[in-house]
Amino acid sequence: MTMQITDPAVRRSAATKPDFRTRLQSWIPKLVLSPSLALIIVFVYGFIFFSVYLSFTDSRILPSYGWVGFENYDKLFRLRHWDIAVSNLVVFSSLYIIFCTVIGLLLAIFLDQKIRGESILRPIYLYPMALSFIVTGTAWKWFLDPGIGLEHTMHLWGWESFSFDWIKNRDFAIYTVVLAAVWQSSGFVMAMFLAGLRGIDNEMLKAAQMDGASNFQLYRRIIIPQLRPAFLSAFVILSHLAIKSYDLVVALTGGGPGRATEVPATFMYSYTFTRNQMGIGASSAVIMLLTIVAIMVPYLYSELREKK
């Protein structure tokens, strides 16, 4: 597998002589692609459309089709609960993305310095990504619980004044979700940056070094700017994980204390499935989807256009 960037422009496969075999050949690729495409059209776009439709209906326990216009949206925006969920998402996702990126980049750069034991450290950083939310939630919930976890341990060790009760504190609980989420995904981000770093051409660095650039300057001026694709990939993966984050919140805090860690995904689930207000649930899903579109479309546009 060569690692050089080749010219990606590939011409169409249509050969010069369009006999039957080549015509068939030119159809096969589309035939191969079409089942996947069809599945996605029906099960992703069809279902999105269905949700949009539901958000305009009076659906409660099961889908129903009485049209109520924008009533669900009106109710949604009047709910303080929703405001809390949205502002939590803003806090959570920005901290989550920033910390994962910074820690991931830092670890990747450090690991890239010919570290002995890299092959042991790397899986240690990566493994949390392999765990399910129930496992992560169980571990962290217990670890952070002041009564039995870290705080208790510190007290037993004689550090009586040690206090770490964030998970029980309305103003800080959301940060424990950030902590557990960063724990889970920063290793993955590290792997992406490490991959990016390993792909950088060393000749250029050596040339810059000859010109007297320091390590710091090398990273700031040359290496980090070259990691742009890795940054973008990390941003996309992290932001969609943040918006979809449901499992971890449920397993760690259940949205509490009170409703201090409610996020849109838990909001949507609870309105759709436990409060029998499917219409409002659907309208919150639509807002979430729009947010995802707002983030993804510019990214996809810039990425895909470049590759042409």
Partner 1 sequence: MRKTILKISTALVIGGMSANVAAAGDVEVLHWWTSGGEASALNVLKQDLEGQGIGWNDMPVAGGGGESAMTVLRARVTAGNAPTAVQMLGFDILDWAGEGALADLNAVAEAEGWDAVVPEALQAFAKHDGKWVSAPVNVHSTNWVWANKSVLDANGIAVPTTWEEFEAALATLSAAGVTPIAHGGQAWQEATVFDAIAMSTGGPDFYKSAFVDLDEGALGSDTMVEAFRRMDVIRANVDENFSGRDWNLATAMVINGDAAFQLMGDWAKGEFINAGKVPGEDFLCFRFPGTADQVTFNADQFALFDQGGDVSSEQASLASAILSPSFQSAFNVVKGSAPARTDVSDEAFDACGKKAIADLAAAAHTGNLFGSMAHGHAAPAGIKNAIYDVVTAHFNGEFDAGTAAEELVDAVSIAK
Partner 2 sequence: MAVASSDTAIRTGRITRTFLYLVLLLFALFYLLPFGVMVVNSVKPLSEITGGNMMALPKVWTFEPWREAWATAQIGVEPTGLRPYFWNSIKMVVPAVAISTILGALNGYVLTKWRFKYDTMTFGFMLFACFIPFQIVLIPMARVLGLTGMAGSTPGLVFVHVIFGLGFTTLYFKNYYQVFPTELIRAAQIDGAGFFRIFQRILLPSSGPIIVVSVIWQFTNIWNDFLFGASFADLDSQPMTVALNNLVNSSHGVKQYNVHFAGAILAALPTLLVYIVAGRYFVRGLMAGSVKG
Q: Which of residues 76-115 bind partner 1 (CB under 8 A)?
A: 78-81
Q: Tell me the longest C-alpha to C-alpha distance in the chain.
A: 85
- Tell me the closest approach of the beta carbon of residue 200 to partner 2, in angstroms: 9
- Interaction between residue 294 and partner 2 (CB under 8 A): no
Distance (Å, whole) CA 260 – CA 221? 42
**Amino acid at residue number 58:** D
Query: Among residues 91 and 213, whose Cβ is nearest to partner 1?
Result: 91
Q: Which two tokens stand for residue 305?
A: 């256009």
Among 111, 173, 252, 263, binds partner 2 (CB under 8 A): 111
Residues of span 252-281 touching partner 2 by CB under 8 A: 265, 268-269, 272-273, 278
- Binding residue count for partner 2, defined by CB under 8 A: 112
Distance (Å, whole) CA 150 – CA 182? 18
Per CB under 8 A, which region of 4-12, 75-83, 86-94, 169-177 contacts partner 2? 4-12
Query: Among residues 167 and 282, whose Cβ is nearest to partner 1?
Result: 167
Phi and psi angles of residue 117, each rounded to the nearest 5 degrees, phi first: 85, 15
Name the binder of 1 from partner 1, partner 2, none, CB < 5-8 A by kind. Answer: partner 2
In 3D space, the residue among 112, 236, 130, 225 whose CA is nearest the CA of residue 187 turns out to be 130
CA angle 81, 86, 92 (to 5 degrees): 120
Query: Among residues 149 and 229, whose Cβ is nearest to partner 1?
Result: 149
Fill in the per-residue mask, 137 to 176: x = in contact with partner 1 (CB under 8 A), - = not in contact. ----x---xxx-----------------x-xxxx------
The DSSP-derived string for 208-252 is HHHTT--HHHIIIIIIHHHTHHHHHHHHHHHHHHHHH--HHHHHH
Among 165, 247, 260, 275, binds partner 2 (CB under 8 A): 247
Among 92, 101, 187, 255, binds partner 2 (CB under 8 A): 187
